[in-house]
Amino acid sequence: MIHAKARNILADEAGATMMEFGLVVPVLMALLMGVFDISYNMYANAILEGAMQEAGRNSTIEGANTSSVDSDVTTQVKIAVPNASLTYERKAYSEFSTVGQPEDFTDLNSDGTCNDGEPYEDANGNGSYDLDRGLSGQGGARDAVVLTATMTFDRFFPVAALIGLPSTYTSSSSTVLRNQPYNINQSAPATENCV
């Protein structure tokens, strides 16, 4: 009699679907939230990129107000990502072709590095040789300015914590602006010697 009841219990499949559903749902929900998190982050990136490109276009027109670029980008991003915080960094260059380039130097000993008192052109005026000749800030007339916006916000879905990712998401975007020629008088960079 006990054996018959045990066989009946083992043969009973009522509730098997519920058990299978209970095993599959957490994995499915984590997968869906992961897809939604990635999608939301991609959407936020697209909004930031679009706002930066529009800022770059708008700053080139005559009479443009370059001081409002930051607030314009922030306003557009906050429509889609209300809890985002944005920071901005500017580097000015004399020409578009010099963006991200090292300062020029005369390689007297042909070793490929600026050293041993070799003369260099201090393009950013900070008194030391730099691998990026950019000058921090908005620069002067006709300067090419690389504007970089960095956006940070709390993730919308908590699934990132399950796989060890931070609870915040950070992304950045850059655009190159051209200052209006309001002041043509610019001084030539000083010549210094490498250490």
Report how far residue 159's alpha carbon sits from residue 65's, in angstroms, rounded to the nearest whole number: 42
pLDDT at position 85: 94
Could you read off the pLDDT of 144-161 as tens digits, one per residue?
888 899 999 998 888 887
pLDDT at position 12: 64
Neighbouring CB atoms inside 10 A of 118's CB total 18
Asked whether residue 84 carries a pLDDT value surpassing 90, the answer given is yes
The top-scoring range by mean pLDDT among 26-30, 41-45, 89-93, 182-186 is 41-45
Q: How confident is the model at residue 40 (pLDDT cuts 50, 70, 90)?
A: very high
Could you read off the pLDDT of 98-135 as tens digits, one per residue?
888 888 888 888 788 888 787 888 877 788 788 888 88
Could you read off the pLDDT of 41-77 as tens digits, one per residue?
999 999 999 999 888 787 766 666 666 788 889 999 9
Report how far residue 24's alpha carbon sits from residue 32's, in angstroms, rounded to the nearest whole number: 12
Report how far residue 134's alpha carbon sits from residue 92's, in angstroms, rounded to the nearest whole number: 5
Q: What is the dihedral of CA 38, 40, 43, 47, to 10 degrees?
A: -130
pLDDT at position 11: 66
